[in-house]
Amino acid sequence: MRLPKSLAVRIGGVAVAAAIAVTGATAAASASTAAPAVHKIPTTLTISNSKPVRHRHRTTAIVEGHLRTGSYNLRHMRVWLQRRGRRGRWYVTQMQLTRRYGRVFFRVRIFRRPVTFRLVFRGTRNFARSVSHIDTISPATS
């Protein structure tokens, strides 16, 4: 059985279009999954605290952090204050954005026992994750 020339051309055109669509979709899928490795800029996060001040039944203190990369201060970045629980697990208590010169401040309350804090910067697309040292604040006495 012979096919008309126009029908053969149409079938061939559909086959070519399907082949192009399949290979194009495969190339796009492989390009999207093979993202290049991105080098993140390392960061440092320091922690310090103020002298605890005693009030009637509690003590308050200010925990200060400084986020930087090399000699540059990072501003408008999220920093989390974590508090160590009784069993050694870390709990997020507050979140603040760094200010103009990369500084962040948290007001904390301490009751009867010393409390351990640390600061965490979770990183962004360009900047690496950073965790500060541990800082322990004891309640003020009289």
CA-wise closest residue to 82 among 65, 70, 98:
65
120 bridge partner residues: 80, 131
Residue 122 predicted with pLDDT over 60? yes
pLDDT mean over 56-82 = 90
List C-alpha distances in Å: 92 to 53, 122, 133: 23, 12, 15
Q: Give residue 95's pLDDT.
A: 95
What's the pLDDT band for 81 if we cut at 50, 70, 90? very high
Range with top average pLDDT, 8-12, 34-38, 56-60, 74-78: 74-78
Which comes out higher in pLDDT, residue 101 or 17? Answer: 101
Distance (Å, whole) CA 36 – CA 120 = 27
pLDDT confidence bin for 140, thresholds 50/70/90: confident
Residue 57: per-residue pLDDT:
76
| The pLDDT of residue 31 | 57
The conformation of residue 127, written as its DSSP 8-state character, comes to B
Is the pTM higher than 0.85? The answer reads no
Beta bridge partners of 66: 46, 103
Q: Is the dihedral of CA 109, 115, 121, 122 positive or negative?
A: negative
Task: Write down the architecture of domain 44-137 according to CATH.
Answer: Sandwich (2.60)
pLDDT at 7: 64
